[in-house]
Amino acid sequence: MRGLAVLIIAVFFVAIAPAQELNCVVTINAKKIGGTETRIYETLEKAIFNFMNNTKWTSDIYSVDERIECSIFITLNERSGTGFNATIQISSRRTAYNSSYYSPMFNHLDEDFDFTYLEYSPLEFTINSYLNNLTSVLAFYAYFIIGIDYDSYSLKGGSVYFDKALKIVNNAQSVEVDGWKAFESDRNRYWLAENMNNDFYSPLRDCMYKYHLKGLDIMWNNTDAGRKVISDALNGLDKIHQARPSSFIMKVFFNAKSDEVVHIFQDGLPAEKNQISRLLTSIDPGNAQKYDKITGQ
């Protein structure tokens, strides 16, 4: 009986123990490399899983069901000893209030991902200095995912985490790996962090808050009112488009949201559908064919 009581108590404390912030699914695809040595890829996958899910990224207390749903898909292209050339696809989502619907928040393919990994070596990271590219990239996207999620619940609520992402970028300015510097590309980690910390892009962060908390989260109770708020939030993005058309962070936003926006407005009133279709085609021309579905074209 005493053993059973101890087990019950242990299960109880596990159930109420605070969880970490991320519920991250990690997949390593090594098909391009081939060969018979597969254990290292399984070890790497497990190490990244533990790093993402067991690191305490914030000072906030999370319950298990409050964790941010996200995924990492790493494709290994080449291997030379302990060095790897890869791409990393990162995505995250959040539930709409009082529903089982998951809203996509971030969906991004990063093609600048070279790293070294020695099997069974611990994955170490510190916010104050650059230790290695593997954990720096992983931590950067952990903070970016958290920042986007927090922005969707409070106005500019993710600022502290976007600032941490920018700090990781700044720590990497002297390293000889791609993805961290402004001059290398106009669509890399530098610009993700720069844009989200740049006041010019405040309308996008305002949109994240209004779209989700004020719009999507009330649609369970009042679909028309929620859709109206989302329309107003998206209209605020035109200011960015007019000044800087084809900006990177706008593309990142619509990579995640374009399909959802189509679904939301397909059931709108004719005038509403026409207006939002024109707006979206203007500010996100790369997805113009998708937006034709809103009006049934």
Tens of pLDDT, residue by residue over 191-242, are: 999 999 999 999 999 999 999 999 999 999 999 999 999 999 999 999 999 9
Q: How far apart are CA 105 and CA 93, in angstroms?
A: 5
Is the confidence at residue 108, as pLDDT, over 80? Answer: yes
Beta-carbon contacts of 230 under 8 Å, excluding residues fewer than 6 positions away, are: 210, 211, 215, 216, 261, 264
Q: How far apart are CA 100 and CA 180, in angstroms?
A: 37
pLDDT digit string, tens, across residues 140-185: 999 999 999 999 999 999 999 999 999 999 999 999 999 999 999 9
Q: How far apart are CA 11 and CA 156, in angstroms?
A: 38
Beta-carbon contacts of 52 under 8 Å, excluding residues fewer than 6 positions away, are: 22, 24, 26, 70, 72, 138, 142
Q: Mean pLDDT of all residues in the chain? A: 93
Buried b (16+ CB within 10 A) or exposed e, 119-153: eeeebebeeeebebbbbbbbbbbbbbbbbbbbbbe
Is the confidence at residue 61, as pLDDT, over 60? Answer: yes
Q: How far apart are CA 113 and CA 120, in angstroms?
A: 20
Beta-carbon contacts of 184 under 8 Å, excluding residues fewer than 6 positions away, are: 112, 178, 190
Note whether 86 and 77 are within 8 A (CB). yes
**238's tokens:** 């035109």
**pLDDT score of 297:** 72
**pLDDT score of 19:** 84
Q: How far apart are CA 227 and CA 233, in angstroms?
A: 10
**pLDDT score of 176:** 95
Is the confidence at residue 13, as pLDDT, over 80? Answer: no
CA-based nearest residue to 288, from 262, 260, 268, 263: 262
CA-based nearest residue to 285, from 239, 245, 232, 227: 245
pLDDT digit string, tens, across residues 14-54: 344 568 999 999 999 999 998 778 899 999 999 999 999 99
First to last CA, the chain: 69
